[in-house]
Amino acid sequence: MARILIVGGHGKVALLLAPILVSQGDEVTSVIRNPAHADTVRATGATPVVFDIEHGDREAIAAVIAGQDAVVWSAGAGGGDPARTTAVDLEAAVRSMDAAADAGVRRYVMVSYFDASPDHGIDPANSFYAYAEAKAAADEHLRASELAWTVLGPSRLTLDPPTGLIDTTAETSGEVSRANVAQVIAAAVHDDTTIGRTIRFNDGTVPIADAIRG
């Protein structure tokens, strides 16, 4: 059993993740911005904590993280506003990493995306550019930290049902169900062989536990 904090607890993946973790015996806390989402989060078996991750400072975030065994970053600005994308997907994410270190919580799992890289190649005129820049920089900050990190890079997300089967060897992005992503997170956070690794994946044919094992 572990105490796991999910940042972005009302997201589609997070709402699928929480009940998996709870079923494994974990104690799950889900951070949400909107108090109106508390009942939905509570129904997953997680404990909702209302906190504005976008505007919370490092000290306040550390107070939220304190006492946990692991942090899962599954938050995002949702695109559309480059300034807010930078504020959430980069600046708040980085503060949460530094805050986790301050709080003595070393295990940190980042949900990124398949093609995240400083060399992402997205045209600055493309509306996706701000997100690509933010995720690349946040991932690099995490990799440079002393946290026990894992970066997960799912491909294009679908609403397909879970199969429990993925492909971590693909060199190009395909698609993967959100339900499988949730299962990957739940497996990775407990698998120490994933520490210090970036795992990109599509839906595939290999059982998740086998596919992510280092």
Q: What is the pLDDT of residues 144-166, one digit of tens each?
A: 999 999 999 999 999 999 999 99
**192: domain CATH number?**
3.40.50.720
Residue 190 burial class via C-beta count within 10 angstroms: exposed 0-12, middle 13-18, buried 19 and up: middle
Distance (Å, whole) CA 10 – CA 32: 6
**pLDDT of 177 above 80:** yes
Q: How many domains does the chain have?
A: 1
What pTM value is reported for the model?
A: 0.96
Q: What is the pLDDT of residue 43?
A: 98
Q: Which residues pair with 108 in a beta bridge?
A: 71, 149
Question: 159: domain range?
Answer: 3-212
Joined together, the tokens standing for residue 172 give: 């190009």
Q: What is the pLDDT of residues 39-75, one digit of tens each?
A: 999 999 999 999 999 999 999 999 999 999 999 999 9
Distance (Å, whole) CA 109 – CA 113: 13
**Is the Cα torsion angle 186, 161, 10, 77 positive or negative in sign?**
positive
Q: For residue 157, report the phi and psi dihedrals to the nearest 5 degrees.
A: -85, 140
